Amino acid sequence: MKFRGWPDNGELVVGKVDEIANFGVFVDLEEYEDRRGLVHISEVASGWIKNVRDHVREGQTVVAKVLDVNQSSQQIDLSLKDVNEHQRKEKIQEWKNEQKADKWMALAFGDDVDDEQYETVANVLYSEFGSLYDGFEQAAIHGTEALEDVDLSGEEKTAVVETARENVSVPYVNVTGYVDLRCPTGDGVDDIKEALRAAEGDGERGDEIELSVSYVGSPEYRIKVRAPDYKTAESELEASAERARNSIETAGGTAVYHRERDEETE
């Protein structure tokens, strides 16, 4: 996906060297549709430059800083010397991430997705998360909760989350479930407390797994699990709900497990 419009002054952009002249370098901007910039010879590198080709070559991918944009003359002035090595590496990684996310969009909605739907989904993710990649990453980590407030249809959210879970490598994931606990006996309050302790487990989980149980609104309780991958997280979540169920049913109560928040308790 390429942006329409123009880059901003001071923005770092990725480009490919298209033409080298004695006075400077022409660069095709990889992130912007039909945009080309010029790096004047004085902005190619610090110090005196005898031959521009000693510093760049045709076809080379570069990171440049936007010095000035003149829309009326269709001119974008760039600098290579104003970009340090840390900025260059960071921007290249960001650009590569967006290329990955572009492929994930095709996986989520099909190669034949129409431009209107693609742009709608992409713009929503950009608006909410700052980039396509970050949108997919948050969907991989937090599931549908990450997209709860974004203006996408249920099907579109599901497509993004499922694709993210299958393709995005993240350091950890979060999953959430809910369990409704009821116990009509005289010791019902104590029995529910015991069921919650059962849900939290005996602490024998690995250090990489975090599980917490919190009160939402009677009779609903939230179970949150953080784990290295979804298979582990989902397994721990279901096991926690099952422990609560076994405990409360032994005391004569009932338990109902569900993944979505019960709106009636709000």
> Which residues have C-beta within 8 Å of that of residue 189, sequence separation ≥ 6?
183
User: How confident is the model over 236-253, as a mean pLDDT?
Assistant: 93
Q: What is the pLDDT of residue 73?
A: 93
Q: Does residue 246 surpass a pLDDT of 90?
A: yes
Higher pLDDT, 109 or 266: 109
> Please, which pLDDT band fits residue 265 given cuts at 50, 70 and 90?
very low
Q: Does residue 1 surpass a pLDDT of 70?
A: no
User: How confident is the model over 213-234, as a mean pLDDT?
Assistant: 89
User: How confident is the model over 201-217, as a mean pLDDT?
Assistant: 81
Structure tokens at 30: 């990889």
Q: What is the pLDDT of residue 144?
A: 87
Q: What is the pLDDT of residue 110?
A: 87
> Which residues have C-beta within 8 Å of that of residue 46, sequence separation ≥ 6?
81
> Please, which pLDDT band fits residue 229 given cuts at 50, 70 and 90?
confident
Q: What is the pLDDT of residue 187?
A: 78
How many Cβ atoms are within 10 Å of 200's Cβ, its own excluded?
A: 15
* Cα separation, 134 vs 180, whole angstroms: 34
* Cα separation, 174 vs 55, whole angstroms: 47
User: How confident is the model over 191-218, as a mean pLDDT?
Assistant: 85
Coil, strand or helix: which one is 33? coil
Q: What is the pLDDT of residue 266?
A: 42
Q: Does residue 218 surpass a pLDDT of 60?
A: yes
Residue 265 CA, chain-centre distance (Å), reads 30
Q: How big is the CA angle at 65 (ends 52 and 125), to the nearest 5 degrees?
A: 135
Q: What is the per-residue pLDDT across 78-128, written as a single tens digit (0 to 9) for each?
A: 999 999 999 999 999 999 999 999 999 999 998 777 888 888 899 999 999
Q: What is the per-residue pLDDT across 9-60, written as a single tens digit (0 to 9) for each?
A: 999 999 999 999 999 999 999 999 999 999 999 999 998 998 999 999 999 9
Q: What is the pLDDT of residue 206?
A: 67
Q: Confirm if 157 and 138 have CB atoms less than 8 A apart.
A: no
How many Cβ atoms are within 10 Å of 205's Cβ, its own excluded?
A: 17
Q: What is the per-residue pLDDT across 160-181, written as a single tens digit (0 to 9) for each?
A: 999 999 998 888 888 899 999 9
Q: What is the per-residue pLDDT across 187-204, written as a single tens digit (0 to 9) for each?
A: 788 999 999 999 998 766
Q: What is the pLDDT of residue 15?
A: 96
Enumerate the β-bridge partners of residue 175: 225
